[in-house]
Structures are given as C-alpha cells and as structure tokens.
Structure 1
Amino acid sequence: MTENNGGLDAINEAINTSHGSFHLKTVLISGLGFFTDAYDLFIIGVVVSLLSLAGWTTVDTFYKGLISSTALISAVIGAIIFGRLLDYLGRKRVYGLELAILIVGALGSAFLTPYNNVIALIAWRFILGIGIGGDYATSSTIIAEYSNTKSRGKLIGSVFSMQSFGLVAGPLVALAFMLHGIPPAITWKALLAIGAIPAAIVIYFRLKMPEPPRYTAAAKGDVHKAAKDLKEYTGIHVEVSSKDKYVVKAKWTALFKDRTFLLTLIGTMGAWFMMDWALYGNSIMSSTILSALVPSTIKGLPALIRSTEYTLLIFAGAAFPGYWIATSVLDKIGRKTIQLIGFAVMALSYALIAIGYHSIIGNISMFLALYGLSYFFIEFGPNVTTFVYPPEVFPVTTRGLGTGMSAAGGKIGAFIGTFADAIILGTDASAHLPFLFSLLAVFAVIGFALTLVLLPETKGRNLEDTSGEKRYTVKA
C-alpha cells in the first residue's frame, strides 16, 4: 500500500476498504443506546396520561407539555457539550459517560419522584435528556469513523434504526402493564425505570472501545497508535510510517468561518429541526392525537389503551419498516434523494389530512392510512438521513461538534414541536388537528428546500472526501 501523508492515508484507506465482524459489534454497541434513547423519549407520552389516572392533580396542559418535552431541550445541551468534548478530549474519554447520565435520569424519574411532584419529574427528565443528546453526538461520530466507504450509509443508518425497536417497545410494554391490570401508580414508574436497562447492559462495552484510529491518526498525528488500535479492534494490519507527519488542522471555528461548512451546518441543523418537530410532536403526543379516533363513550384507562393500540399499529406497521428499508438502500439511492422523497411525501400526507380532516376523521382506516404514510416516509426519509449526514460532512477534528450541533437543531425542533403540540391540542385534540397538520405540511416543504439547496450527496465517496478535511490536512 502506498504510504502518503506519513501513514494517515494508509489508516484511512484500510478502514475505507474494510470488512469484518467488528462492524456488527460496533453497530450493536452504538445501536443499543439508540434503542434506549427512543424508548425513554417516546414512552413519556403514555406516562403523562397515566399520571392523571394515578391520582396526580398537578398535570395541567402547561405541565403536560413541559414534562413531555423537557428531555428534548436538555438533549440540545447534551449534544453540543458532548460534541465539543469528542473533538477536544477524544472519543474514548467520553464514550459511555452519556449512558451513565441517562441511567441516572431514568432511575431518578422512576424512583426519586415524589407523588404529585411535577417539578421533580421534570428535573430528572432534564438529566435524562443530557445523556440522550450526548449519545446522538458520540454514537454517530464513532460508527462513521469505523465504517467503510461502500456500506457507510447502511452502518450509520443501522445504529440509528435501532431506535425503531425502542419506538415499538414503548407501547408494547405499556399495553402489557395496562392489559394485565397493573395499577397506573405502579405502571408509570415501571415504564420509566425499564429505560435504564439496555443502557446498563451496553455501557461496559463502550468504555472498553479504543479510540477510533481515524481520530488518533488525523487529529493526534499518532499513526503508530492508530495502527495498533486498528489491529486490536478490527484485526486489520497496516504498515505505517511517521517519517512525515500529517494532521488535520480544522479548528471548531471552521464550522462558522468556512462558508461551505457553515452552509452545510445550516442544512443539517435546519432539516433536522423541521423533521423532529413532526416526528417527536406526533410520537410523544400520539396518545392525544389518536384519541380523536376513540369514541367519546370510552373514557379513562380503556381510552388510553385504545389510543396506545393505535399508536403501536402506526409505529410497528409504518415507522418500523421505514427505518430499515431506508437503511438498506442508503448506499444505493443516496442520502439526498431519500431525504427529498421523505419530505415531499410528508408534506403531501399532512396536507391531505388537514384539508380533508372533517371527511376522514370518522373513517378510522382512512385516517390511519394517511397518518401511517407520513410515518413511513419520515423514517424512509429525513429521520434516518438527518442522522447519517452530519458525521459525513464535517472534518474529523470538528466532527463531534458538527454532529452535536446538527442533533441539537433537531432536538430544538422536537422540544418546540412537542410543547407546542400539547398547547395546540389542549383538551380538544379533534378540533385543532387540522391546524397542526397544516403547520407540519409547511415545515416539510421548508425541509425539502433546505435539503435541495444546501446538502450534498455523499454516497460512494470516502469519508475524508465528503468531510472536506483534505483541505485542512497539513504537514505537522
């Protein structure tokens, strides 16, 4: 193998052309975190409904929105902090810490929240969100740096698509408790505590992972350590020379001073913002939105069970396959094409629901079909691709921050969307759903435009090319 850049090219090329079981291992170690993230974020919608049934009297419309969305706004903080730490301290030093924070938040929410104490629950959910935001920055960065060129989209997408299992697990577990007669006062605590289990299982393996060789070679200039870690973790042997040392010198300020990076960052943050408003607003508030389909004669726990069953149908029948179909074709169709298709169909389905709402609300099958269509194309579209894009389009020395800021943009949209949805829907979801879906249609159009104008196609290109870091590679 030709040794250019003192071994840096050799390390990158070895990973770009690699194949091995270590890819599956890395996907599982990273992906279990996203199973947990999805479960913890989306289960809160059911929990909020259970609190009133458990006798809580403090959960009015305002606090319902705040409980549901607090973890999302703290995820913004976690994504930016961990993103910067990834670049400043290295991946290994912080990988696993975000899950420890998540575990504390999940268990505190379940076991250290006094009866009727909304503020305590919000505080614990805030801590939980910091860990979740950190996971968005760390896991996507690490899997990208271990991925080969040919399957990079599928590998990064697979990590994120583990979210689909958490999305489905939430209503399944909730239904299991409710249908077996477990009291709401116990059920809501159990649902929150369960979210700590997958994170606890995988945290050890994250702490044992070595520094990604791409980072060690490009950011630290230590190609010998990179080659050693590559051999130990993947089994791939690379001969390197440090006769001429080359490193990537892009500072974090390059994201704002370099016009290409700045426009790309606007694109990744903006598209993720538009998508997450729809995804999280609809998913966390799904019990409220789908309660419009439940006959008015059904009240209390039976009504919550019925709306949760509808939620499970949408998540399992539409969202779940959307994740994995998108992941399987990312490297064939391309990130940009899939994201454009997703936003376009989201806009169409939301507009149809808004315009024809009063005609279709009485037809459960028709409403679920259109609503399910939007969910499928959120997943076979921007929900997967907005996660894949950021670690591909920023240099290794700013990849953590660029990815973290992109995720932060999404979680700002998720926070505003969830909180706003709770306020918009209020106590009469049926009356306000047409306005909500009209708003979501407009946001989908904006997401389409941002993607079309600002984001490149990255399929089939080496990571060092798509990230633009070659422009910042210099002799040390």
Structure 2
Amino acid sequence: MGLFTDAYSLFSIVPVTYLIGRIYYNPDDGKPGTVPIALRAAVVASALAGTVIGQLLFGFLGDRLGRKKVYGTTLLIIVLSSFNCGFSIGRTANYVIVSLCFFRFFLGVGIGGDYPLSAIIMSEFANTERRGALVAGVFSMQGFGILFSALVTMIICHVFEVVQPSGKDPIFPHPPPSADLAWRLILMIGTIPAVLTFYSRMAMPETPRYTALVQGDMERAIVEARRVLEIDNDLLSDVEDHGANMMPPPDQYSFFSKKFFKRHGSDLAACATSWFLLDVVFYSTTLFQSWIYKSALKPPEHVNVFTEAFNLAKFQAVFSIAAIIPGYFGAIMTIDRVGRREIQMIGFLIMAIVLFCMVLSYNAMVENNRIHFPYLIMYALIFFFANFGPNTTTFVLPAELFPARFRTTCHGIAGAAGKVGAIIGSIGLLWSSETGLDDQNDKVPGNGMKYILIGLTAICFVGVVHTFSFTPRSTVAVPLEEHED
C-alpha cells in the first residue's frame, strides 16, 4: 500500500495546493489566490527528497535485517506522516506550507522504503513464470491510488459545498472556514488503505528465498513457503526444485568489493540510468498539468473554491481511467510474454514519437492559452506508454537481477536515481520553463515549453538507445537463483 499512498499523495497534492492557495494567499486584486511557485516547488521536492533517503536507507536495511522487519516500519512511517500532513499549521501562510513540507518529507522517507521492499518481497514470493506480472501488479497500485485520491477529493468538495455553500459570488475571495478542513481531510484519508493492511504486513512471514539464501536456513525456508501456499501454490515447488542452489554461496564478497562491481555493476548502472531518464520525463509532464487544467476547465475566477478543486479531481479521475490504469494493465499482460527489455524500449520509443509530434504541432494546437483536444490525447498517450513500458519495467528489473543479499540495496539505489531524476524533472524544469509559462501572466504558453518538449523527446530517444545497449536481454522465466554467486 506504500505505492498506493505514494500516488495518492502525489496527485492529491495538486487540488490541495489549489485549495491552500485560495485559502491562505488572497491577493489584493480580488482574483483567487495561488501558492507561490517557490513554495509549490518545495512541497513537491520535500516528498521526493524524502523518497531518495528512504530508498537508500531501507534498501540497505532490507538486506541486513530482513524484508519483514523493515516492511512494517516503512508502513508505520507512512501512516503517521500522512496523517500528520493534515495537521500542518502555522501563524502565517508560509509557515503552513513549511509544516506541510516537514511531514511530506517523512512521508517520502516511508514511501521510499516501501519501493524496494514491495518489489523484492513480491519477487521472492512469486514463482518464476509469473514473477514479472506479479511485481508489475504491485506497482499498478499507483494507478488505483491516483483514482482513489481523485474520488476522495470530489466527494469531500461536493459534501462541503452542499453543507456550506460558498455563496453566490463565483470568485468568493474569502473561502469559508470549512475549506481549510477540506484539504486536511483529503490528505488524512489517504492513510486509511495503509492502516487496513498493517496487520497483514506484520503477520507476513519472511520470504523463503531470504531465509535460505541470506540466513542459510533451508528448512525454515520450506516451512515459510508452506505458510504462503494459499497465496501461490507454485512457490513451494520453486523452493524445492532449486533447493540445491538456494544456499548462501561460499564466496561471500561485499557490496563495495571489486567483485560485485565486476559482476553486477553494469546491471545496476543500467537500471539506475533507465529509471533516472524515465523519471525526468515522467515528472516533467506534471509541468503541463496546470496548463492543461487551465485550458480544459473553467477559469478559477468563475468558480468557487470547492468547485475548482472538484473539477481538478474529476479531470484526474478521467485521466487515470482512460490512460494511467490501462497502461499498467497492458504491462501486466505482456511483461512475461514480450519481455521487460522489449516493452521498455517500446514505451520509450512511442513516448519519444508522441512528444516529437507535440513539438511539431505545438503552434497549431496551442493558441490563445487554449489547447486543442488532439493535444490532450497525445498527453494521455505519454502516460499510457510510460506505464506500459519504462515506468513499470524500471520497478521490475532491479527486483530480478541481483543476488538476494544485495537485492533491496540495489533496488533502492536504482529507485533513488530515479527520484533524483524526478526532482530535476519536476523542480528544475519548472523553474527553467518560467520564460515559457509566466507565473505572473496566467501561464501563457510560449517557446519555453516548446523547448522543454524537445528536450524530453531527446531524453526518450536516449532511453531507447540505452535500453537496447545496456539492459539485460531477458529475465523472463529465469529463476532468481541464477543470479546468486
């Protein structure tokens, strides 16, 4: 549920930021207030920075202490920090944002730890033939987190508007006090799914492969495999069939040894680079969201605070159903048939083609701060093929390529590289695009956005070449034990 909460947090913060802007940042010109760009960047960066730290820290601890022990800790951090986001307070508007950033940082730490542990636990519990689809299925929970956040936001905004209408004035420069409660409830409700899974996490046994390969206890590994027969009846046969190989190798070299980098360094670099390239593009596309919202929805001057947040969430819900969730399911259906490397190349390639088409049609499709419908279709295609391809495969591949004693560490390093790319994509490009999206001039698109699209196109083409050149050719139907040495 960490990945579910990750997506919930990432997408719910968009309407929440709009609510906070209209509540705490009322300008003198009578127009609806907005959170300053520096503070919006801080809200995003705080969670991403925490995610980087969480992936590195809990990835390391997952190999040292065991998957089960660390897994429960990450969920506890997620629940507490996500809930406390709703209690972000301060004497001024800026202090409220600082308080929110503080709790979102620790939320990011918990979510970051959940990335490698969720992937590795499912990978080590899964049988060889269905491993890719099962790990991809775990990652697809992000799509449902996005949809859930949109539905929660829509319901809360609708209820609050019915119970306490905002008045006849559509601009409503002074939102009702209930608006301050609304955004807090939106953030706090995201903890409920995580709380519901807490018992099952704590009752879950250690993965049999970790028990056998890292702790060297083959008998207990078989006992633990029998405990999860109801989850996967093929797991025990996997453990027994490869039992001879499921013992710690005699040559126990360390992670920082030359032998590790000689045997696994290239795979780790390939996974980290692919994830970095993908997240630069994937998170950069969030730059377009406010621009697209402004084009597709009514201007904020014409709606009240609850209606604006409701419309944003409705747009997210439609987008997740039409593009995001289908992309994940496409990956689940093909990853064990077509292959990880192949669908990663397909995803990067089609993303590059679509982005290039957006560059070529930019002047025709974008005029008078309005975006034509075909441009929205192209925007949706980017997310569909990102989730169908590299967004899923970069999560799956590090869970399969490394020895058990280094597995969560390597996954954490690859994921942290991705989140560094996410910081560059969502923060660095946000600032660099200010010449093309002037925050003081209603974000009128200019050539700056066009240049960003060109850069993202080039990054996707680099992703295709990198995947073809460096990503391992196949992990389909390859037992995890093949990577033990």
- TM-score range for the pair, normalised by the shorter chain length: 0.7 to 0.9
Is 1:443 aligned to 2:459, yes or no?
yes
Q: Please state how far the C-alpha of 1:295 moved relative to its aligned partner.
A: 5.9
Mapping for residues 312-461 of structure 1, pairs under 5 Å: 312-361=317-366, 362=370, 364-423=372-431, 424=433, 425=437, 427=439, 428=443, 430-431=445-446, 432-456=448-472, 457-461=474-478
> Cα distance 1:306–1:419, how it changes in 2: closer, same or farther (>3 A)?
same
Q: Paired residue for 2:261?
A: 258
Q: Which amino acid aligns with 2:480?
A: L
Q: Which runs of 5+ in 2 are unaligned?
A: 27-33, 162-177, 231-235
Mapping for residues 285-324 of structure 1, pairs under 5 Å: 286-294=289-297, 299=302, 301=305, 302=307, 305-324=310-329
SS of the counterpart of 2:341?
Answer: helix
Quick check: 2:157–2:309 contact (8 Å CA) kept in 1?
no
Is 1:271 aligned to 2:240, yes or no?
no
Q: Please state how far the C-alpha of 1:299 moved relative to its aligned partner.
A: 4.8
TM-score normalised per structure 1? 0.85
- CA distance in 1 between counterparts of 2:376 and 2:244 reads 63
> Cα distance 1:255–1:295, how it changes in 2: closer, same or farther (>3 A)?
farther
- CA distance in 2 between counterparts of 1:243 and 1:370 reads 51
Mapping for residues 44-193 of structure 1, pairs under 5 Å: 44-56=13-25, 59-114=35-90, 116=93, 117=95, 118-182=97-161, 183-193=178-188
SS of the counterpart of 1:111?
Answer: coil
Mapping for residues 230-269 of structure 1, pairs under 5 Å: 230-234=225-229, 236=236, 246-248=247-249, 249-253=252-256, 257-269=260-272
Q: Please state how far the C-alpha of 1:250 moved relative to its aligned partner.
A: 4.5
Q: Which amino acid aligns with 1:461?
A: V
Q: Paired residue for 1:37?
A: 6
Q: Which moved more, 1:311-320 or 1:228-237?
A: 228-237
- CA distance in 2 between counterparts of 1:402 and 1:73 reads 18
Quick check: 1:33–1:198 contact (8 Å CA) kept in 2?
no
Q: Please state how far the C-alpha of 1:47 moved relative to its aligned partner.
A: 1.4
Q: Paired residue for 1:10?
A: none
1:260-310, Cα deviation, whole Å (9 max, x unpaired) = 421111111111112122323334862444324446585564555444433
Q: Which amino acid aligns with 1:383?
A: N
- CA distance in 2 between counterparts of 1:240 and 1:346 reads 41
SS of the counterpart of 2:337?
Answer: helix
Which of the residues 198, 207, 221 maps onto 1:203?
198
Q: Please state how far the C-alpha of 1:421 moved relative to its aligned partner.
A: 4.1
Q: Paired residue for 1:6?
A: none
Q: Which runs of 5+ in 1 are unaligned?
A: 1-31
Q: Please state how far the C-alpha of 1:73 moved relative to its aligned partner.
A: 1.4
SS of the counterpart of 2:404?
Answer: coil
Quick check: 1:87–1:400 contact (8 Å CA) kept in 2?
yes
1:305-344, Cα deviation, whole Å (9 max, x unpaired) = 4444333322220111010111111100111110000001
- CA distance in 2 between counterparts of 1:180 and 1:341 reads 43
> Cα distance 1:162–1:315, how it changes in 2: closer, same or farther (>3 A)?
same
- Cα RMSD between the aligned structures? 2.6
Mapping for residues 19-30 of structure 1, pairs under 5 Å: none
Q: Which amino acid aligns with 1:327?
A: I
Quick check: 1:289–1:433 contact (8 Å CA) kept in 2?
no
Q: Please state how far the C-alpha of 1:172 moved relative to its aligned partner.
A: 2.5
- CA distance in 1 between counterparts of 2:413 and 2:18 reads 32
Quick check: 1:110–1:190 contact (8 Å CA) kept in 2?
yes
Quick check: 1:61–1:426 contact (8 Å CA) kept in 2?
no
> Cα distance 1:234–1:296, how it changes in 2: closer, same or farther (>3 A)?
closer
How many residue pairs are counted as aligned between the two chains? 437
- CA distance in 2 between counterparts of 1:447 and 1:242 reads 38
1:402-456, Cα deviation, whole Å (9 max, x unpaired) = 0111111111111221113432245115234323322221221122222111111
- CA distance in 2 between counterparts of 1:267 and 1:143 reads 22
> Cα distance 1:250–1:390, how it changes in 2: closer, same or farther (>3 A)?
farther
> Cα distance 1:196–1:250, how it changes in 2: closer, same or farther (>3 A)?
farther
Q: Paired residue for 2:30?
A: none
Q: Which moved more, 1:423-432 or 1:351-360?
A: 423-432
Q: Which moved more, 1:268-277 or 1:137-146?
A: 268-277
TM-score normalised per structure 2? 0.84
SS of the counterpart of 2:475?
Answer: coil
Quick check: 1:287–1:307 contact (8 Å CA) kept in 2?
no
Q: Which amino acid aligns with 1:343?
A: F
> Cα distance 1:49–1:285, how it changes in 2: closer, same or farther (>3 A)?
farther
Q: Paired residue for 2:480?
A: 463
Runs (4 or more) in structure 1 with deviation over 6 Å come to 237-245
> Cα distance 1:343–1:239, how it changes in 2: closer, same or farther (>3 A)?
closer
- CA distance in 2 between counterparts of 1:250 and 1:226 reads 23
Q: Paired residue for 1:223?
A: 218
- CA distance in 2 between counterparts of 1:267 and 1:241 reads 28
Quick check: 1:82–1:134 contact (8 Å CA) kept in 2?
yes
Quick check: 2:353–2:457 contact (8 Å CA) kept in 1?
yes
